[in-house]
Amino acid sequence: MNPIPTGPQIKITPDMMRSFKTLTCDCGGMLFEPGVVIKKISPLVSPTSKEESYPFQVLVCKKCGKVPSEMNKTDFQGMLPDEVIAKKEMSITIK
């Protein structure tokens, strides 16, 4: 069995890392830890015709415990429940 061919490997250098954008959570946090979201697969579409669980890993902000909304727009494209997605707090000043 042949391995799947991949594109050319790019060596990331410290100088390159300095120029990359740092992902921040909507709350301002920049440290993340792994979390797991589990989706239930209906027996109607399950390959075994039984309800199954499908876990997938997400990165959760250590500051607020939510998934940055930017990741939901790109990596998960709406697969996450609203309760786990970070939202920027709107502040209104009344004078």
Question: Long-range contacts made by residues 10-13, C-beta under 8 angstroms, separation at least 24?
Answer: none
* CB-neighbour burial class of residue 78 (10 A; exposed 0-12, middle 13-18, buried 19+): exposed
User: Domain for residue 65, yes or no?
Assistant: yes
What pLDDT sits at residue 91? 53
User: Domain for residue 1, yes or no?
Assistant: no
User: Domain for residue 2, yes or no?
Assistant: no
Confidence band of 72 (pLDDT split at 50, 70, 90): confident
Per-residue pLDDT averaged across 73-79, rounded?
80
Whether the per-residue pLDDT at 30 is higher than 90: the answer is: yes
User: Domain for residue 38, yes or no?
Assistant: yes
Per-residue pLDDT averaged across 47-61, rounded?
92
Question: Bridge-partner residues for 61, per DSSP?
Answer: 32
Residue with tokens 């997938």: 56
What pLDDT sits at residue 1? 55
* Number of domains the chain contains: 1
User: Domain for residue 20, yes or no?
Assistant: no
Dist CA 95 CA 93 (whole Å)? 6
User: Domain for residue 40, yes or no?
Assistant: yes
DSSP character at residue 79: -
User: Domain for residue 10, yes or no?
Assistant: no
